[in-house]
């Protein structure tokens, strides 16, 4: 009887130990998913505040993404760039949905997103077709729909968490910016990277001219608490630049401004600018010339850079992980 019990125990031990030893020696066929790295499922619909109509519209989520991509990126861009834009737009919308649950938007408290540049630009498909050339719906729109469908449900994640700031802009002038150099907060995936494939970008070597009197008036309108005093060519200087090359700080007379403040006040395409002067006849007779490269804030994905990378052979995941450092797409 004792022998039977001992034999049974021995067999049990063998059956338990052999699989454990095999696992230690040979490993596992499939890698276990790390806890907390689950993919977030997008909802079927999204509520959008329509600014002009002053009403809320419930839209199919992926159709919303399609129309956002059509508004935010030219349809003649490479399809891999359109896929990258689709993932960024989808991530942005989803992050807004999650954040609005705890902190509703003041501009549209009942919806996570609106249809303006405050969020992402959205226009319905019918309107998009009406403002494009004949046949665009069968070419451009269909191309965008393929890009959105190919990435359906995919979003950007950093360390297993949904990216909350998948920012994008038109063109960088060759280098993107650290988020903290343009906005308030630093994000580990929004760091300055090279953006070399922007040969087809618009807004290169763009010049804007102002008399010093016009510049003074524009700055006073936006920043009345920082009077410049009398301006001349000797007291307007660029003090420092960011890692991405944009103007960080600049003096104008007795006042100091951020490069982003100068860009906003004077309507420049970018804070990546240089200055020169023409004439010497006081504030009304001296002209300051701003020469800028790139368009937009410079943080996140350069859209022209994405198109250039795609045409050079990169796929949308390579594009996204280049501009959003350390991220994964799934």
Burial pattern 225-254, b for ≥16 Cβ within 10 A else e, equals eeebeebebeebeeeebbebbbbbbbebbe
Same structural domain, 173 and 302: yes
Mean pLDDT of the chain: 90
What predicted TM-score, i.e. pTM, was given to this entire model? 0.85
Q: How far is CA 130 from the centre of its chain?
A: 27
Residue 169 falls inside a structural domain? yes
Give domain status of residue 71, yes or no: yes
Asked if residue 4 belongs to a domain, the reply is no
pLDDT tens digits for range 145-157: 999 999 999 999 9
Per-residue model confidence as pLDDT tens digits over 192-206: 999 999 999 999 999
DSSP state of 275: E
* pLDDT of res. 106: 83
In which domain, by residue range, is 247 found? 206-292
DSSP H/E element including 115: none
- For residue range 216-261, list pLDDT tens digits in order: 999 999 999 999 999 999 999 999 999 999 999 999 999 999 999 9
Q: Residue 65: inside a domain, yes or no?
A: yes
pLDDT value, residue 303 = 98
Q: Evaluate if residue 123 carries a pLDDT over 80.
A: yes
Q: Mean per-residue pLDDT for 56-73?
A: 98
269-298 pLDDT per residue, tens: 999 999 999 998 899 999 999 999 999 999
315 in any annotated domain: yes
> Strands, DSSP E only, in 149-272?
156-158, 161-162, 168-169, 206-211, 236-241, 247-252, 255-258
Is the pLDDT at 309 greater than 90? The verdict is yes
3-state helix, strand, coil in the chain (%, to 5): 40, 20, 40
Once rounded to an integer, what is the mean pLDDT over residues 165-173?
Answer: 97
């Amino acid at each position: 009887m004792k022998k039977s019990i001992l034999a049974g125990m021995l067999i049990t031990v063998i059956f338990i130990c052999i699989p454990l030893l095999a696992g230690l020696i040979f490993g596992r066929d499939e890698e276990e998913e790390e806890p907390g790295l689950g993919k977030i499922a997008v909802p079927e619909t999204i509520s959008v505040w329509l600014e002009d109509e002053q009403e809320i519209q419930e839209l199919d989520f992926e159709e919303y993404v399609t129309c956002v991509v059509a508004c935010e990126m030219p349809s003649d861009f490479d399809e891999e760039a359109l896929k990258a834009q689709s993932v960024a737009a989808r991530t942005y919308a989803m992050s807004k949905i999650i954040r609005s649950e705890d902190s509703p938007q003041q501009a549209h408290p009942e919806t996570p997103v609106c249809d303006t540049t405050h969020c992402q630009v959205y226009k319905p498909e019918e309107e998009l077709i009406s403002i494009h050339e004949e046949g665009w719906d069968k070419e451009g729109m269909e191309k965008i729909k393929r890009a959105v469908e190919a990435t359906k449900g995919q979003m950007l994640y950093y360390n297993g968490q949904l990216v909350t700031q998948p920012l994008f802009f038109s063109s960088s002038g060759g280098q993107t910016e650290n988020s903290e150099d343009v906005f308030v907060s630093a994000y580990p995936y929004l760091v300055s990277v090279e953006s070399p494939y922007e040969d087809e970008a618009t807004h290169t070597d763009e010049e804007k001219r102002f008399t010093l009197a016009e510049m003074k008036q524009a700055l006073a309108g936006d920043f009345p608490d920082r009077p410049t005093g009398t301006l001349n060519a000797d007291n307007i200087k660029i003090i420092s630049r960011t890692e991405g090359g944009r103007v960080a700080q600049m003096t104008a007379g007795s006042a100091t401004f951020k490069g982003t403040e100068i860009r906003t006040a004077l309507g420049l395409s970018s804070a990546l600018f240089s200055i020169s002067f023409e004439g010497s006849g006081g504030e009304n007779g001296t002209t300051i010339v701003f020469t800028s490269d790139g368009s937009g804030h410079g943080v996140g994905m350069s859209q022209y850079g994405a198109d250039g990378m795609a045409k050079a052979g990169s796929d949308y995941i390579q594009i996204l992980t280049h501009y959003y450092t350390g991220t994964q797409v799934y």
